[in-house]
């Protein structure tokens, strides 16, 4: 099937929705751990209901269950740090740090899959490190949030690489369902340690407004965006999808400027460093296609079966 203009708009809307997750995380009043507890539980329930409606079997092979649940634990850690970064610093800092997922993927994927590291990725990685340094130096008061976001990006890259292996063996809906379960169980097991060492009391009861945002986060940003993206993957080339998905931090930062008025709190050096990082992220699929894709048609990796934000 060939993509039409409506399909392109739909793809951009999905990426826009993904860019909205950090803003929602900032708007929800409960802390990051409690937020991820509810997001994963609601997403699990929503995914199960969606699979029932689509008549996709909920069962999965027993030998696949543990690897998928453990991969879900990575998602939980990734999301906790992601939302903590937005709360400790702000959404813009969080998304600039998260953009380093491209850098981490370029390092980890060749190591895990025993492939050669591409010179292009090393060079772009160096550019991104320089951009991160500019942001870190300019916004040192937000250093903890930036560190959380960078570690979150590292975990997100690792999850994405492992998930790419799982999706070759099992149905992507089943993988997402049990990864959400694994992420929720991880939150449940982590809560006693979290209460003992990091907080005086748990804030597990969201406000009415929080419930609205949580339903949007789990229903629209997770279940809907994922299922819709899977359908669109059949119509687009991997290059077109990667190019569009890389706009996620751009959309997210623009939303933060518009809805949260964050631009007035950030220095000129933040914009310089952030622009360097985002330019490298957006340039990657284009340069990768130019140097490698033309010689080997589908060399660029397709979009991962599940999105981490």
**Does residue 95 sit within a domain?**
yes
State the residue range of the domain holding 275.
5-293
For the chain, how many structural domains are there in total?
1
Q: Is 302 part of a structural domain of the chain? A: no
Q: Give the Cα separation of 264 and 70 in Å (integer).
A: 41
CA dist., res. 105 & res. 95, Å (int): 16
Tell me, what DSSP letter sits at residue 263? Answer: G
pLDDT at residue 279 in the model: 87
In a domain, 257, yes or no: yes
In three-state secondary structure terms, 226 is: helix
DSSP 141: G
Total Cβ atoms within 10 A of residue 5: 7
**Residue that has been written with the tokens 């930062």 in this structure:** 253
Domain assignment present for residue 309? The answer is no
- pLDDT at res. 300: 42
Determine the pLDDT at residue 215. Answer: 95
> Is residue 198 packed enough to be buried (19+ CB in 10 Å), middle (13-18) or exposed (0-12)?
exposed
From CA 64, how far away is CA 37, in angstroms rounded? 23
User: Is 41 in contact with 223 (CB distance < 8 Å)?
Assistant: no
Question: 178-196: string of b/e by CB count within 10 Å (b at 16+)?
Answer: bbbbbbbbbbeebbeebee
Establish if 161 belongs to a structural domain.
yes
Predicted local confidence at residue 2, as pLDDT: 65
- pTM, two decimals, is 0.87
CA dihedral 46, 52, 55, 58 (to 10 degrees): 90
Q: Which of 305, 76, 269 is CA-nearest to residue 184?
A: 76
Q: Look up residue 117 and give its DSSP letter.
A: P
Distance (Å, rounded) from C-alpha 68 to C-alpha 180?
9
21 falls within a domain? yes
pLDDT at 74: 94
Residue 165 counted as domain residue: yes
Q: What is the DSSP secondary-structure string of 65-87?
A: HHHHHHHHHHHHHHHHHHHHHHH
What's the CA gap between 159 and 162, in Å, rounded?
5
Q: Which of 197, 198, 215 is nearest to 206 (CA)?
A: 215
Residue 130 lies in a domain: yes
- Of 235, 240, 241, give the one whose Cα is nearest residue 304: 241
- Tens digit of each residue's pLDDT, the chain (309 residues): 566 778 888 888 998 999 899 999 999 999 999 999 999 999 999 999 999 998 988 888 888 899 999 999 999 999 999 999 999 999 999 999 988 887 888 888 888 888 787 788 778 888 888 888 888 888 888 899 999 999 999 998 898 888 878 877 888 888 889 999 999 999 999 999 998 888 878 999 999 999 999 999 999 998 898 888 877 767 776 666 666 777 888 888 989 999 888 888 888 888 898 898 888 888 877 787 777 665 554 444 444 444 557
């Amino acid at each position: 099937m060939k993509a039409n203009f409506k399909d392109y708009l739909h793809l951009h809307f999905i990426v826009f929705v993904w860019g909205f997750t950090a803003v929602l995380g900032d708007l929800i009043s409960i802390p990051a751990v409690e937020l991820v507890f509810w997001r994963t539980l609601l997403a699990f329930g929503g995914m199960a209901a969606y699979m029932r409606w689509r008549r996709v079997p909920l069962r999965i092979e027993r030998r696949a269950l543990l690897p998928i649940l453990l991969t879900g634990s990575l998602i939980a850690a990734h999301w906790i740090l992601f939302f903590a970064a937005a709360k400790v610093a702000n959404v813009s800092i969080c998304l600039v740090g998260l953009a380093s997922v491209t850098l981490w993927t370029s390092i980890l994927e060749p190591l895990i899959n025993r492939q050669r590291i591409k010179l292009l990725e090393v060079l772009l990685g160096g550019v991104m490190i320089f951009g991160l340094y500019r942001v870190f130096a300019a916004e040192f008061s937000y250093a903890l949030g930036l560190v959380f976001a960078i570690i979150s990006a590292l975990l997100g890259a690792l999850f994405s690489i492992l998930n790419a292996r799982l999706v070759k063996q099992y149905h992507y809906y089943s993988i997402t369902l049990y990864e959400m379960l694994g992420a929720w169980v991880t939150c449940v097991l982590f809560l006693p340690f979290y209460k003992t060492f990091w907080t005086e009391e748990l804030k597990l009861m969201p406000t009415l407004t929080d419930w609205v945002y949580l339903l949007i986060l789990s229903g629209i940003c997770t279940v809907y965006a994922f299922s819709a993206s899977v359908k669109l993957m059949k119509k687009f080339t991997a290059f077109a999808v990667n190019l569009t998905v890389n706009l996620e931090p751009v959309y997210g930062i623009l939303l933060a400027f518009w809805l949260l008025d964050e631009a007035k709190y950030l220095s000129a050096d933040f914009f310089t460093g952030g622009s360097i990082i985002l330019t490298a992220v957006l340039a990657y699929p284009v340069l990768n296609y130019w140097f490698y894709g033309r010689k080997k048609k589908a060399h660029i990796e397709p979009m991962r079966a599940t999105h981490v934000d």
